[in-house]
Amino acid sequence: MLQNGLDVLDFENTLCLKQPSGGRGSKMPLISLRDLHFNYETPERRVEALRGVSLDIEPGEFVAICGPSGCGKTTLMNIMGTLDRPTSGKHFYDGEDLTAKRPSELADLRARDIGFVFQSFNLIDSLSVYDNIELALLYKREDRRNLRSRILEAMDRVGIAHRAKHLPRQLSGGQQQRCAIARAIVGRPAIILADEPTGNLDSVNAAHIFGILKSLHQEGSTLVVVTHSPSQADQAERVLEMIDGRIQFSRRKLS
């Protein structure tokens, strides 16, 4: 029988039950969700976007979340990134319960440990590429003297340094997403959450962007990617398949 949370089926050629916590080995999970529910209220009805999701993500892990539109992937991602609070359930980050944290503490956590990459890039139109990237460090309250070198390093990393002074509207979609990735990694976050990062890109750019994300993971970053692309999902270490607000399958790639 397929269940959510701790009792999900783990496809590693053979079906087996996943351990309650700890993930690989005995390390503490970076993100741990327990019986998570999230409801949207619309004027017409209440929508249950998440219905009791439990999940652990280990440090350094590369997880892909798949599923049809409206199954709750983005909602799950938002809660992992502390952008939304769950209606009920527990949310742990590095062993710390985030459920009762104040907004300012969550803001600090996002600035310090989480990098976001969105499908629609979400760059600020009025700021240059450089300034958009710098923004992530400003909210991290980094020492201003070190900013420049780190921003240049991040831009070099994604190949966008020559566009530093351009405004987002002067860049192609692929360049904008590279800028968004640079912004996500410049603060050296513990985890990168990418929500359909290639959804607005052509196949060439999509492959390039996904390549950058993969290389970040290979260098040790924890990476969670929401994607519709089976080929991209196949490259993850673990694939979570969501349907109707629940994780229906968890498939771990054979090492």
Partner 1 sequence: MLGARILFHISRSLVRYWGVSLLNVIGFAIGTAAALTIALYVRNELTFDRFVPDADKVLLLSTVYSPPDSPVVSNEKSPAGVAGWLRSDAPAVDAVARLHPVEWSMRGPRGSSLEYFYWADPNLFDVLRLKAIAGDLRTALQKPYTMVLTRRMAERYFGRDDVVGQTVFINGNSAVRITAVLADFPANSSLGREIFVSGLSDYGMLAVLDQHPVWQWASSYTFLRLKPGAHLTAEEVGRIAVKHWQGDSNLPAEFHVVPLADLHFQPEAESQMAPRGHRDTVFAMTVLAGFVLFLAAVNLAGLMTAQIDERLGEMVVRRSLGAKRHHLFMQVLLEAAMLVLLAVFTGLMLTERLLPAINSVLGLQLSLWTSPLFLAGCLLGAILAGFAAGIHPAIVLSSVPPASARRDSDGTLLSGIRRIGWLVVQFALLTTLLICSQVVYRQWAFATGAALNFNADRVIQIDVYTRGDQNEAFRQRVLKIRGVEDAAYSRFIPDDRDVRPAWTASPSGRRVQFDRQSVDTNFFRMFGVRLLAGRNFANVYDLDQPPAEVILSQSGAEALGFRQPADAVGQTLNYEADHSRIRSKIIGVVTDMRIGTVREDPQPMVFDNQSAFFSRLNVRLAPKTETATLAAIDRQWTHDFPQSNPINRHYYSEHLGELYHDMVQQWWAFGMLAVVGVCLSVLGLTGLSMYLARSQTHEMAIRNALGAKSWDIFRLRLTPFVKPLILANLAAGLLSWLLMTLWLGSFKAHVSLDASSFINAGAATVFITLVTLTVHTLITSPARSSRPLHLN
Tell me the closest approach of the beta carbon of residue 125 to partner 1, in angstroms. 6
Q: Locate 235 and state its tokens.
A: 């490259």
Tell me the closest approach of the beta carbon of residue 229 to partner 1, in angstroms. 18
State which residue, 9 or 133, has the beta carbon closest to partner 1: 133
Report which of 129, 128, 173, 174 is spatially closest to residue 154, judged by C-alpha positions: 129
> Rule CB under 8 A: which residues touch partner 1?
74, 78, 81, 83-84, 103-104, 107-112, 116, 118-120, 122-126, 135-136, 139-140, 167, 169, 183, 195, 200
Tell me the closest approach of the beta carbon of residue 241 to partner 1, in angstroms. 20
Tell me the closest approach of the beta carbon of residue 74 to partner 1, in angstroms. 6
State which residue, 152 or 167, has the beta carbon closest to partner 1: 167
Q: How far apart are CA 193 and CA 190, in angstroms?
A: 10
> Is 168 in a helix, a strand, or coil?
helix
Q: Locate 120 and state its tokens.
A: 């629609």
State which residue, 98 or 109, has the beta carbon closest to partner 1: 109
Tell me the closest approach of the beta carbon of residue 63 to partner 1, in angstroms. 19
Tell me the closest approach of the beta carbon of residue 142 to partner 1, in angstroms. 11
Cβ atoms 76, 19 nearer than 8 A? no
State which residue, 10 or 142, has the beta carbon closest to partner 1: 142
Range list of H helices, 12-83: 73-80
Angle in degrees, 0-180, between the axes of helices 173-185 and 203-218, rounded to the nearest 10? 10
State which residue, 2 or 124, has the beta carbon closest to partner 1: 124
Q: How far apart are CA 241 and CA 253, in angstroms?
A: 14
Q: Locate 13 and state its tokens.
A: 């050629």
Q: Locate 20 and state its tokens.
A: 């309650």
Range list of H helices, the chain: 73-80, 103-113, 129-139, 147-158, 173-185, 203-218, 230-234
State which residue, 104 or 255, has the beta carbon closest to partner 1: 104
Consecutive H or E run containing 49: strand 46-57
